[in-house]
Chains A and B, each alone.
Chain A
């Protein structure tokens, strides 16, 4: 009985929300549930218009814009905490907090979903779509233009060394991933893509070793141990990257499709230049291994 009444109440609310003519003015209380929509939002609108961002946006180990997010209200993707903020626009990823999204939609909130960006074209398209949603089209176009300008300035080298991402549990980025697009833009070939792997896929250590990559970009290592990251200290990998370089490439720059990915591209392009000559390399030998490691 109570349920029935509630459901009817929800229906009425939903009806009101859907049929009241959309407000003429742009959304002023925008809530975002996803790290990537968080960052696009912060790039485009004033903090005063942001009702909330996800807690991940405030963490330095996951967000490029954690400083900007620090002053904003954080949410953990729970329906009620978002609902009480009375947002006039909710942004979420297609894979984030599905249950929360469906509850908010039933409560009549306007929810816009963003797919994970995997290419630079996705980045442009999503910025423009976000610009339209928050009615900051001009700002979005300016960001895209600046992004294009920086992409245009990237080198297109003749010799493109072979690079492999190697994440915890021996996973790598294959075709159709943002890290793969980042490698390509940095003038490197992606081993995962050349092996025909799709998305994020397992890359056996044996195959990594016998593929003789010029560069191994290791995943992040957490302070606290886990078997998943023991693979990074496997002796076979140590032979491969005897000329190891302890450079830092925070994966925060490759998690989300925002113009920030260019930081990762530039970092990898710097490392590519250090890899040097396109001379055919001898067979990797112990003690004089020829792959470089980046973490």
Chain B
């Protein structure tokens, strides 16, 4: 089979996996509805209670799971390709934490209740600040480790400010919600959240998809890429804005979910034959599958405990990250 054929097979398999997990996500919930009844209720026009559960509770959860997972996988692949850094990922570089801070400022000051779009916009703003900062830092001389250290600093600062905003809120529940913003959850999200975040995520995906060819050229170095006719300033703007828009919107409605953007591109890279352009699409599908699976797992493992998504992704992702650091360090020596 040709390399191209293998790639299409991989994409077909990943698409199938996402579809299966999406349907599974629709079928799993505490109400214990029948399979055929719930799937037909999904398209029912008159809403009995089963239709309300399916259309207003489970469908937005499944849509957000797929879209946010795709965002994290895609932006992870784009950042790794653009920065040519194996450790780049929205969570580790502080982009998610900064987006959380923006979202928290929008919600808990009351701004988003009078102007709903403030939520995704401020999260986008937070993400943008972090991406620009990371880009400035990751100039010619930045090693993978120094980039991660900068990410640690950005994450800690954003986390501390998030905690401060929540602690200052007069609402007694606010302080406890730090867990949601640091670890993420899709519990009881509604179509409102889908409409608020999905358009921004789609815009971000489109921007990131446009840099695919440029990322291939960038593997040969910036000078070569420029000589091949890629405008590097435009590529940079697309990566920065695309990541900020999609990760900002994703984080605004589900909190910061780590490690998906790190693991998924690494697992898929050998399978797509080291073409950053192919890795983008594959990582988007892979990210969607992983987040849907994680969101199904939190509902199956501890249905009544509201286990956070970030707990599961970190349990898998953190050991992987450590292994990656050791590997990177060996290569640098």
Contact = CB atoms under 8 A, between A and B. Distances in A.
A168 interface: yes
Contact of A286 (B52, B112, B191, B303): B52
Contact of B177 (A224, A227, A231, A286): A227
Interface string B159-172: 00000000001111
A228 B173 CA distance: 6
A100 B50 CA distance: 51
Nearest to A197: B304
A222 B171 contact: yes
A108 B268 CA distance: 69
B31 A226 contact: no
Interface string B3-46: 00000000000000000000000000111010000000000001
Interface string A198-221: 000110111101101000000000
B306 to A, nearest CB: 7
B321 interface: no
B46 A286 contact: yes
Contacts, number: 98
B190 interface: yes
Give the interface size bracket for B toward A. 35 or more
Given A226-B173, A227-B107, A285-B47, A235 B53 contact: no
Given A224-B110, A236-B52, A283-B49, A206 B57 contact: yes
Interface in A9-61: none
B47 A286 contact: yes
B265 to A, nearest CB: 31
A228 B58 CA distance: 19
Q: By DSSP majority rule, is chain A's interface helix, strand, loop, or mixed?
A: helix
A222 B173 CA distance: 9
Contacts of B50: 210
Most B CB atoms within 10 A — which of A168, A225, A286? A225
Given A225-B107, A284-B49, A202 B304 contact: yes
A234 interface: yes
B190 A204 contact: no
B190 A226 contact: no
Most A CB atoms within 10 A — which of B47, B50, B188? B188
3 shortest interchain CB distances as A-B pairs: A228-B173, A206-B31, A286-B47
Interface of A: 168-170, 201-202, 204-207, 209-210, 212, 222-231, 234-236, 239-240, 283-286
